[in-house]
Amino acid sequence: MNAEPTGEGRHGGSDQERSLADTSTEFEAFRSYLHVLAETQLHAKLKSKVDASDIVQQTLLQAYRSRDQFRGQSSAEKAGWLRRILGNVVYALARDFSRQRRDVSREQSIQAIEASSIMLGNLLSAENSSPSAALHREERAAALAQAMLELTEEQRRAIILKYWENASLADIAQELGKSTEAVAGLIFRGMKRLRQQFGNGEQG
């Protein structure tokens, strides 16, 4: 089994470690994917205290320090290993910033990341649970993550709130400080742009 860094203790690293992580292309290829997954876990209270980019940087640093412990071979296995590290990092940060530190367990945090990745892979397609579909979903999730980062921040946040958090247009409008009509437009234009790159889907 792969060893699993906890993501606890330090929320940063030395300049040398950051430089090493930045040059580690084997992990850098997953930065966009991890960034979108991190954004899906940043609920309002946590979002005001930490940035998704910082979470991803810490995740990549943890992965770089522990790279010799990774025993997988495929890209999908590496993505799964990185998701667990990301889940640990999010858990540690949420625990540090929360007054009620036992609200969410470490395993729940990791499971939330896994569910988020599945949601990302299924965003523009019907659900399919076959092994081949699961592999395709992994690849699709990574590609969709890159495409989502090309949307405006408001479009991406509105889509995350709608599809990941099942928020109503009214709730999204309140968080973004916009009218429900403006929010509907953000979601429509964002999803349209994603569909243009990945084909038509059923969700709107």
pLDDT, position 11? 45
Cβ proximity of 158 and 183 under 8 Å: yes
**What pLDDT score does 2 carry?**
52
Question: Tokens 């930045």 sit at which residue?
Answer: 22
Instruction: Supply the DSSP symbol for 90.
Output: H
CA distances from 95 to 12, 53, 114, 116, 155 (A): 16, 19, 19, 20, 29
Per-residue pLDDT, 96: 75
Which of the residues in the chain have pLDDT under 70? 1-25, 44-45, 97-104, 125-135, 199-204
| pLDDT value for 128 | 45
What pLDDT, on a 0 to 100 scale, did the predictor assign at position 203?
Answer: 43
Measure Cα distances from 49 to 44, 96, 159, 165 in Å.
Answer: 9, 11, 21, 19
Tokens of 165: 């958090």
Residue 151 is classified by DSSP as S
Domains annotated for the chain, with CATH where assigned, are 1-149 (no CATH), 151-204 (1.10.10.10)
